[in-house]
Copies of this chain bind each other. A is one copy, B any other.
């Protein structure tokens, strides 16, 4: 029991006013939640594919059933506009539906069968069958910047539940009321599906104590996190120092370089400048894939790009940021760039009209200056970006090769730029999880070929993605079954069950 129950409040992002109070969970609640998740694991991982898929869809239906209260609550807590949050709700429900389809289809089971070869010389070969099984209860840390699509019922939760893992969410304290509505919806889906309550649990509270205890609980088998580099690395370190270390999938920070290739710049520099600022300022710049770095070789069209971008930034309205702390960090990061003696402030957005508004900021510097100060490559979370002017292709290549790992890298290119793009591609592949041409990184499709991941420090594990159907693989591990009789084998690996599943027989697709 918790002798003292701490309280914290839902905060209106625009005004900073506190409203609804929430009781924070305590350390004992973490242990109880992990025990319940562990107790639920066996039953949940043995649910059939159809049953599990229907459960995921039911979660989506329950979220929709909350109605406009959910949108209004999320608007108040995040400062994000209605259209964005309605879109995010659609994305959340679509994500659950996608994972339901993935669960039904069964690719994720990774079934492989090597039939027995009783006559092989010098020794017979046994019957070997492989499938993926879930790791165990997963701790999910919701992100502040996607209060629906990457929070309580977000991508990590959907992927872990799809894999057969119970989930314990540490709700983000920036949107407790939104989180509570969604958690209740998931609990209703759990109950309606006849599953044990331990399949989904929701812990809330300010500070780091709850999350630290959660990651260190021996019953937790993996961690999903979206947030700051400092936060992700702290959880990673805790997980590595456990008696039994566990994987941490932390999506942390990225400046998402956009490379303006010469022909594209020459033919449409001004249009690129406007489009860039639309991506930069969307959602007050609070996207993991916000374009925080623009690279260009000096030449035709660059001045037009800068002029158009500067104009668009100057016209951009200030927007409420997610939390006062994020706003303060943004202002601090922008101030550091503005005061940097080798960085020019090209343009600032319209002045703030409310206490927690962020105003866009566009800076420029040289490749020499950028390469000389690693701090210039660090993410300033919000609508801030730095243009780096390069003298030539070689300097551009050096700059890309020196960059940290990124979620995305974007090429703005015309057909005549293709040879240069092809030369840059191998460098970009080693730096980023997703490479785009002639788009902007801020749109992340929830689909099968998406990678929202990338080399460290963009994420803690470049082998994975946190968006898209491949995200399920993070919560699975392979088990091989040798010479088990049909009645003891898991149903998916029996001759009858495996025939319905995508599978490799002797390494060949059956």
Contact = CB atoms under 8 A, between A and B. Distances in A.
Nearest to A102: B507
Contacts of A122: 87
Nearest to A434: B480
A14 interface: no
A448 B506 contact: yes
Given A418-B488, A449-B128, A482 B434 contact: yes
A326 interface: no
Contact of A483 (B114, B436, B480, B490): B436
B477 A421 contact: no
Nearest to A101: B507
A16 interface: no
A100 to B, nearest CB: 12
A443 interface: yes
A376 interface: no
A479 B432 contact: yes
Contacts of A125: 445, 447
Interface in A445-502: 445, 447-451, 453, 455-457, 460-465, 468-470, 476-485, 487-488, 490, 502
B128 A480 contact: no
Nearest to A432: B479
Interface stretch (A19-27, A130-138, A390-398): A130-138
A437 interface: yes
Given A418-B487, A449-B112, A439 B482 contact: yes
A447 B483 contact: no
Contacts of A234: none
Interface in A422-440: 422, 425-426, 429-430, 432-439
B439 A483 contact: yes
Contacts of A368: none
Given A123-B443, A443-B123, A478 B507 contact: no
Interface string A77-110: 0000000000100000000001001100101000
Given A101-B507, A485-B418, A476 B463 contact: yes
Contact of A437 (B443, B457, B488, B509): B488
A275 interface: no
Given A418-B487, A482-B436, A509-B502, A450 B101 contact: no
Contact of A478 (B98, B433, B456, B478): B433
A463 B128 contact: no
Nearest to A441: B482
10 contacts: A87-B122, A112-B449, A126-B436, A244-B405, A422-B487, A435-B482, A439-B483, A453-B477, A465-B480, A469-B507
Given A244-B405, A425-B488, A453-B478, 9 more contacts: A113-B449, A114-B448, A125-B445, A432-B479, A451-B478, A455-B477, A462-B477, A463-B477, A468-B480
